[in-house]
Structure 1
Amino acid sequence: MVGLNTVVGKRYKILTQIGKGGMSAVYLAMDSSLNKQWAVKEIRNVSDPVQRDLVIKSLTVEANMIKRFDHPAIPRIVDLIEEKGSLFVVMDYVEGQTLASLLKKEGPQSEDDVVDWGIQLCDVLDYLHRRKHPVIFRDMKPSNVMLTPEGSIKLIDFGIALETGKGADNKPLVGDDRQLGTPGFGAPEQFTEGATVDARTDIYALGATLFYLLTGSHPRKNGIVPIRQINPSLSQGLEAVIEKATRENPDERFQTCADFAYALKHYREEDEAWRSALKAKWHGFLGTSIAAVVCLALAGGCMLLANHAQNSDYDYWMAQGAQNTDDTAAEAAFVRAAEVKTTATQPYEELIKRYTADGDFTDAEEQIYNELISQHATDLRKDADSWASLSYDTGRMYWYYYSGSKMASQTASATNTDPQRYARIRAASQWMHNAAEDTNFKNAKIAKIYADIADFNTEIVPLINEGSDSGKYLPYFTKLNDLVTAAGQENNDVIRLEAANLTLDALRVYPRKFRADGVKQQAMSDLADAAATLADQAQTTTDELDASKKTAQEAVQPTKDAIANAFVDIKGDAK
């Protein structure tokens, strides 16, 4: 055990002990270089060399994996130090307590709190699962979740997380590929020889975690049973959600964390009271229409007329949405149409038109749209061409119009770029990837340009931090050229101005990086001129567009100066 006021790694002064485990102790430390507090975990010397090697390997894998992540719910590991017979892990200090500690002190938690935590955890797990190389956490449990005083969730301890390849083989790239996990929380496949783990493995563990938080019954000791057998006052709808998440067969669980989050947000709709009301309405309807049904059956036209009724209902709601001048009423009509005909993409296209008409796709609109499309994604995917087109239009809506703040990241500030732009690009990324995957889609190539630019902006800062960004800038420069060309062909001033500002920002932030990757000064200057022309051509009609155009025009000269400076060596001799 390290003493208080000891300096570790010549810079981290131990202030106080804040936690203790079987093989480790956690301290609060002050960084003398940055004047910042960190948490320092001390892994005490292990006499068994095999066990020690496993501990060191686990920590090294965790550190190397986490430094590439950029999500507010994932604390960073910033340093690994081996000295004085111990291994020290320096990480973000997270104020708060684990959910396991909270459960031990207070007992089962309220439905509202548990559902809120579950939705937050779905978000961070979805981020891990949707990476270029999906990461399976494999150890979701209350002791690996920190709750801050503000109510935010932090996911900790990536020691057995597995970074996988992409494809059917799902081969491990980083991490231990043995069947690892915590009994009671780990999914059955984690303890089955030769079984494959994937996103659904984490979904099971999250379901088990929520079960434990709601009931206080440990899933290893007592098994996972319907939650209302333990506490009848709990929601029947929530019981159904957790039951589905923790099914033994992965194919019968939620297939993505987005689906799981949607179910958690709407669990009350499944409650018995809601179903009873629905049944009452149905019985009333049945009584008034039984004669018609009999007639239809006798005529042999039940299915045909049922389809006609559905289509008529769909057409009715589509017409209501198109004719209504009130945005809220129109939105509700298009949502209803999408629910009536779950394979139709037109309601979503109409919502996109409504949401982008004022140049502002808000958080509230995003929540409605995202929940709706997530709910019906399986049906919408049945028509590959329509799905690709809808994904492309959805991606453009996020890329150019999303004004929500919930996805803004510190990564943007680290590269001196616009945080709001970074949030838009990050939100658009998966949709552009969806569109690009369909090679028959007419806009697949431009969707690939968007997807590649999004990948660069999402991944570049972690690569810079680990010194492996070389070679990434020339392809990015090429994609920026393609983006400016494509934007110039658009009759849309929002797209033109956003493409111009994104390009000018990149040229101003990365000119030396572009140069190092072989991009010539003239090529950079030409691209800056093309972006400036794109901005000048925009015909602005709103204050927001005026401001965007002014931003681009004012950035032109600083960008050209930055490019010129990038081609001057340290001694000041132009090269």
Structure 2
Amino acid sequence: MIKIGDLLDNTYVIEARIGSGGSGIIYKAYHTRLKKNVVIKQIKSELRGKINERSEVDILKNLKHTYLPQVYDFITDDDDIYTVMDYIPGLSLLEELKKRRRFSQKKVIKWGIQLCEALSYLHSRSTPIIHSDIKPDNIMLTPEDNICLIDFNVSLLFSNDVNVVGFSEGYSPPEQVSIFNVIDRMTVPRKTADKNSDTVFLELNSGRPSSNIKQTKCKIDIRSDIYSLGATLYHLISGERPENSNIDIIPLDSYNIKIGHSLKQIISKAMNKDIESRYETIGDMQYDLNNINKHDYLYEKKVRRKRRLLIYIGLFILLIFIATIIFILIK
């Protein structure tokens, strides 16, 4: 176990413990060679053996995208495994939700498009990278008001192993929940969770057959990420985390929020329980988000009406102010 002040791999000075999640403990550290802060995540002991081949690890190190953190290193030290990546100043969208309750449609669309760009980049790799744990807690908001999608340890854990699966309540799609439930029913599974995280990992004990999992006919693919993105946008616009995917989702119409019909349709399609009825690719979803204002006439009409009302109120106040000044001068 590393401690504050330790020098890891003769490069990283551990400065503070800043959090923990379903797959490990998170530290803020200083990179002595690059002269910058980084994030170091220590993989939990129960999951260390599930990090796959080094070639797959190197794939993550080679990722470079505006809305993804740069992964610098994977370190093995005394049987512990650490991932090192960019430190993103600011709060997660979950922390922002706790402060602000919900966000405007304009912001949700902007961040939704940015997330689509990041996921499109991941999904288009020669070996597609499925994030598998998209949720507000794994999305940082930068000082420039842009997003950064973090926590790739989960994609490493899921990449080839049907005996380990994670589950984030409200954000995981039905196919992911089904695999999770199969493992949960099998003999003596090991659970890995954290009181500060809503992600739970189940790992089937070594030697147990995985045939039951394969027989579920459930497969996690890029459309699983699309569901989780839809669930994330649902939370951002409504202020409420959606129900588990095996329960009927409360319609967005049930909330007293300003949202256009087109955005509701996009989120609903992304969150369809039937994987075949969702967007086929993240690019298809991004196209609809990019073109939402061309179709969402009602919402735009409401926005323009509100804008005109504010202008009229401002002009009315200005006229009263001018009339008051004139009255005082004449008097």
Using structure 2 for the length normalisation, give the TM-score.
0.68
Q: 1:107 to 1:254 in 2, by over 3 A?
A: same
| Rounded Cα–Cα distance in structure 2 between residues aligned with 1:161 and 1:9 | 24
Identify the match of residue 129 of structure 1 among 123, 136, 152: 123
Q: How far apart are residue 208 of structure 1 and its match?
A: 0.6
| Rounded Cα–Cα distance in structure 2 between residues aligned with 1:63 and 1:87 | 12
Q: 1:108-507 residue pairs with structure 2 within 5 A?
A: 108-161=102-155, 174-178=159-163, 180-192=166-178, 193-220=216-243, 224-271=249-296, 273=298
Per-residue CA distance 1:20-51 (angstroms, 9 max, x = gap):
4477443322222333322222346x4xxxx2
The residue identity in structure 1 corresponding to 2:281 is: T
**Is 1:58 equivalent to 2:73 in the alignment?**
no
Identify the match of residue 96 of structure 2 among 95, 102, 105: 102
| Rounded Cα–Cα distance in structure 2 between residues aligned with 1:151 and 1:135 | 25
Give the secondary structure class of the aligned counterpart of 2:153. coil
| Rounded Cα–Cα distance in structure 2 between residues aligned with 1:60 and 1:148 | 32
Q: How far apart are residue 269 of structure 1 and its match?
A: 4.0
Q: Which one has a larger percent helix, Structure 1 or Structure 2?
A: 1
| Rounded Cα–Cα distance in structure 1 between residues aligned with 2:72 and 2:19 | 19
CA contact (8 A) 1:81 1:87 kept: yes
Q: How far apart are residue 123 of structure 1 and its match?
A: 0.7
Identify the match of residue 72 of structure 1 among 57, 66, 69: 66
The residue identity in structure 2 corresponding to 1:225 is: I
**Is 1:28 equivalent to 2:28 in the alignment?**
yes
Q: How far apart are residue 187 of structure 1 and its match?
A: 1.5
Q: How far apart are residue 154 of structure 1 and its match?
A: 1.4
Partner of 1:536: none
CA contact (8 A) 1:228 1:235 kept: no
Per-residue CA distance 1:261-287 (angstroms, 9 max, x = gap):
1211233444463799xxxxxxxxxxx
CA contact (8 A) 1:96 1:148 kept: yes
| Rounded Cα–Cα distance in structure 1 between residues aligned with 2:221 and 2:265 | 22
Q: How far apart are residue 225 of structure 1 and its match?
A: 2.6
| Rounded Cα–Cα distance in structure 2 between residues aligned with 1:56 and 1:104 | 35
| Rounded Cα–Cα distance in structure 2 between residues aligned with 1:76 and 1:95 | 14
Give the secondary structure class of the aligned counterpart of 1:73. coil
Q: How far apart are residue 5 of structure 1 and its match?
A: 2.4
Partner of 1:40: 40
Give the secondary structure class of the aligned counterpart of 1:258. helix
Q: How far apart are residue 115 of structure 1 and its match?
A: 0.9
| Rounded Cα–Cα distance in structure 1 between residues aligned with 2:52 and 2:110 | 30
Q: How far apart are residue 117 of structure 1 and its match?
A: 0.7
CA contact (8 A) 2:243 2:250 kept: no
Partner of 1:367: none
Q: Which one has a larger percent strand, Structure 1 or Structure 2?
A: 2
Q: How far apart are residue 9 of structure 1 and its match?
A: 1.5
Give the secondary structure class of the aligned counterpart of 2:66. coil
Give the secondary structure class of the aligned counterpart of 2:243. helix
| Structure with the greater alpha carbon radius of gyration | 1
Using structure 1 for the length normalisation, give the TM-score.
0.41
| Rounded Cα–Cα distance in structure 2 between residues aligned with 1:274 and 1:80 | 47
Q: How far apart are residue 260 of structure 1 and its match?
A: 0.7
Q: How far apart are residue 124 of structure 1 and its match?
A: 1.0
| Rounded Cα–Cα distance in structure 2 between residues aligned with 1:184 and 1:60 | 31
Per-residue CA distance 1:478-519 (angstroms, 9 max, x = gap):
xxxxxxxxxxxxxxxxxxxxxxxxxxxxxxxxxxxxxxxxxx
Per-residue CA distance 1:274-304 (angstroms, 9 max, x = gap):
799xxxxxxxxxxxxxxxxxxxxxxxxxxxx
The residue identity in structure 1 corresponding to 2:148 is: K
Q: 1:268 to 1:35 in 2, by over 3 A?
A: closer
User: Greater RCO between the two (CA within 8 Å, min separation 6)?
Assistant: 2
CA contact (8 A) 2:93 2:141 kept: yes
CA contact (8 A) 2:19 2:27 kept: yes
Q: How far apart are residue 86 of structure 1 and its match?
A: 4.7
**Is 1:14 equivalent to 2:7 in the alignment?**
no
Q: How far apart are residue 121 of structure 1 and its match?
A: 0.6
CA contact (8 A) 1:99 1:142 kept: yes
Gaps of 5+ in 1: 164-171, 277-575
The residue identity in structure 1 corresponding to 2:123 is: H
Give the secondary structure class of the aligned counterpart of 1:28. strand
Give the secondary structure class of the aligned counterpart of 2:168. coil
Per-residue CA distance 1:513-554 (angstroms, 9 max, x = gap):
xxxxxxxxxxxxxxxxxxxxxxxxxxxxxxxxxxxxxxxxxx
| Rounded Cα–Cα distance in structure 1 between residues aligned with 2:298 and 2:112 | 23
RMSD value over aligned CA atoms? 3.0
CA contact (8 A) 1:160 1:176 kept: no
CA contact (8 A) 2:61 2:73 kept: no
| Rounded Cα–Cα distance in structure 1 between residues aligned with 2:279 and 2:156 | 20
